[in-house]
Copies of this chain bind each other. A is one copy, B any other.
Amino acid sequence: MPEMTMLQAINDALHVAMAKDDGVVMLGEDIGKKGGVFGATQGLHDKYGEMRVMDTPLSECGIIGSAVGMALYGLKPVPEIQFLDFIYPAFDQIVSEAAKMRYRSGGQWTCPMVIRSPSGGGIRGGHYHSQSSEAYFAHTPGLRVVMPSTARDAKGMLLSAIFCGDPVVFLEPKHLYRLAKGDVPAGWYVEDLDKARVAHEGTDVTVVSWGAMMHTCEEVLKEAHEKGISVELVDLRTLLPWDAETVLASVRKTGRLVTVQEAPRTCGFGSEVAATVAEKAIDSLRAPIARVAGFDTPFPYTLEHVYKPDRKRVLGAIEYVCRWE
């Protein structure tokens, strides 16, 4: 199996999808000749031309609105939003149109499309190139929200997303584009969109995370182990619909829960995970639930490293719940 970075895996998935189905088209800003500002769409414009890989005017509203129209027409558009921070001009088309099309039309019309967008910090992009707004979409019935943390999942889940028939917000943790490396099956390869992944088994505490923060959590495993704490690390992978069962099973085993997200704390997805556990596994809880999260401020520039949860903050939360009597 070839080793790939997450960026290569995504690019590979896009090549596979376009070769498999000529209804797969891409549109966005700078995805053509330039191949995307991160390079995710390299080679596609040369290979498939302007009719299937479209550099669009600077309008996220138009990118998603026309993608919805293409999906209605029968294509499988894969629009790119250059940075998740710039998705808001298209918010109406996503939450009012794509998400509700199937329901409001009684199943007559559907919107199979995948909105790809780099999410989160890690490139010193200040607060307009670093946001993690997955919770907005996770609160929007009708959307699927996917956020891989490994190169393998990035490919498998992107291919699943393109062919699943639902509108998907596919969040790419830009911090991991080159950092996340691993063996990725060549050719056609799909991953389940309804299952979380137990990244590491453990017995003392369940740590639930997704996206770039998975990387930080993995770094903490060793340190925790040295402190005699056995961590079970769950990578949610999908936030809507999400796999509560895997989390609940783990908490029933460990009796402790720490959620780790990069997004602002209040009303983030970690709150949903915590609430669900407090609802369905309260009797198993042997300590308070701890949420590690970005602060409830906009994303800074110079102090990015302070804003984002780091190993110390995660480890601190783990120790806190494990020390609890």
Contacts and interface: CB of A to CB of B under 8 A. Distances in A.
Interface stretch (A190-198, A200-208, A212-220, A286-294): A286-294
Contacts of A282: 278, 285, 287-289
A280 to B, nearest CB: 7
A240 B269 contact: no
B279 A135 contact: no
A88 interface: yes
Contacts of A278: 274-275, 277-278, 282, 285, 288-289
Contacts of A100: 127, 298
A88 B99 contact: no
A271 interface: yes
A126 to B, nearest CB: 8
Contact of A139 (B267, B280, B291, B298): B267
A165 interface: no
Given A139-B135, A271-B274, A274-B274, A279 B290 contact: yes
A138 B266 contact: yes
A269 B282 CA distance: 20
Contacts of A139: 133, 135-136, 263-264, 266-268
Contacts of A85: 96
A271 B259 CA distance: 13
Contacts of A280: 288
A298 B135 contact: no
B272 A96 contact: no
Interface string A47-89: 0000000000000000000000000000000000000010011
Contact of A274 (B275, B283, B298): B275
A266 B274 contact: no
A47 to B, nearest CB: 33
A289 B133 CA distance: 26
A187 interface: no
A136 B138 contact: no
Most B Cβ at <10 Å: residue of A240, A266, A282, A283: A266
A103 interface: yes
A95 interface: yes
Nearest to A290: B279
A240 B140 CA distance: 20
Contacts of A103: 127, 297-298
A91 interface: yes
Contacts of A88: 91-92, 95-96
Interface of A: 85, 88-89, 91-92, 95-96, 99-100, 103-104, 127-128, 133, 135-136, 138-142, 240, 242, 263-264, 266-272, 274-280, 282-283, 285, 287-291, 295-298
14 contacts: A103-B297, A136-B136, A136-B139, A138-B267, A141-B298, A142-B298, A240-B266, A242-B266, A270-B275, A271-B271, A274-B279, A280-B288, A282-B287, A282-B289
Given A85-B96, A139-B263, A139-B267, 10 more contacts: A100-B127, A104-B127, A140-B264, A141-B295, A142-B297, A271-B271, A277-B278, A282-B285, A282-B288, A283-B288
